[in-house]
Amino acid sequence: MDALRTATSAWGAMSIKGRPTIEQAIAVTSRFPVFLAAFHRMRNGLQPLESHPELGHAANYLYLLTGKIPEEQHVKALDAYLVLLADHGMNASTFTARVVASTESDIVSAVVAAIGALKGPLHGGAPSKVQDMLKAIGTIENAENWLRNALARGERLMGFGHRVYKTEDPRAEELRDLAHLADPQEFVLARRVEELALALLKERKPDQRLNTNVEFYSAVLLASVGLPGDLFTPTFAVSRVVGWTAHILEQVSNNRLIRPEADYTGPIQAHFVPLNER
């Protein structure tokens, strides 16, 4: 996320001026996969690649990472993932982007601010931790004991529960099918872990319904198409930048400065203490 934020900011400083436009939104969106793939290759001692003129957005992302034409099922799965997560109401990063846009700043400044918000684990999440959990479990036979022991230690099972949804997230249902498409073999373990985890969570907290969230099968899907864990959240940004830029354009089309009010909750009638008495 740091590399994506910095590359976007540097490119924007040289390339983007004036009021946000649809052309600028397309330019920002198209460069996210390029920046991430270039960073990934350079850190592995490889040269960045030029985009393949015959490949679409999702396929080019995979190509720029590996230098190989990606498999059709991987392209289909990643493309659908990018569509599913492109927008999701007034979430933290989208709100951040709109606040910055409302000050009449440029589109890249608003997007960079949104990246900063998405970087936080309470928003961007930690889908790579789901993959770590599945790797630690290893086999279907080991799944129930591993999950029970984790809960007994007070650990959180990654990929379950949502701050807004009290029913199953419809995106999670679609991601489940996509993960199966991308890698049927890995899906078998993930599906069994999901079933056991939901049953154990219901057993421990019968009054609290926890459902599978988008992180669980996002992790399975992104790993299946060949992405390393530390690119999971940046790839979320590759999707969400479409929503950010759409919100930015909507904000500036009928703009008012966003300035929330705040209620003071500090001490009442506090007395000033001179500096030498503190």
Instruction: State what percent of residues in the chain have pLDDT above 70.
Output: 100
Q: In 2-70, which residue ranges form alpha helices assigned H by DSSP? A: 2-15, 22-43, 57-66
Asked whether the beta carbons of 119 and 5 are under 8 A apart, the reply is yes
SS3 at position 80:
helix
pLDDT above 80: residue 271: yes
Asked whether the beta carbons of 220 and 170 are under 8 A apart, the reply is no
What average pLDDT score do residues 127-134 get?
90
60 Cβ neighbours under 8 A, 6+ residues apart? 33, 51, 52
Q: In 85-139, which residue ranges form alpha helices assigned H by DSSP? A: 92-102, 107-119, 127-137
pLDDT above 90: residue 12: yes
* Residues known to be catalytic: 162, 215
- The C-alpha atoms of residue 32 and residue 245 are separated, in whole angstroms, by 13
Bigger pLDDT: 108 vs 204 = 108
If one looks up domain 127-224 in CATH, what number appears?
Answer: 1.10.230.10
Tokens 């994506």 sit on residue? 4
What average pLDDT score do residues 72-82 get?
96
- The C-alpha atoms of residue 28 and residue 16 are separated, in whole angstroms, by 9
Domain ranges for the chain, please list them: 2-124+240-253, 127-224
How does pLDDT run across 194-249, given as a tens digit for each residue?
A: 999 999 999 998 888 889 999 999 999 999 999 999 999 999 999 999 999 999 99
- The C-alpha atoms of residue 23 and residue 241 are separated, in whole angstroms, by 14
| pLDDT range class, residue 116, cuts 50, 70, 90 | very high
Q: How far is CA 177 from CA 15, 86, 122, 130, 148, in A?
A: 40, 18, 26, 17, 26
Residue 66, burial from CB neighbour count under 10 angstroms (0-12, 13-18, 19+)? middle
pLDDT at 200: 96
**Range 2-124+240-253 classified under CATH 1.10.580.10:** yes
Q: What are phi and psi of 256, to 5 degrees?
A: -140, 140
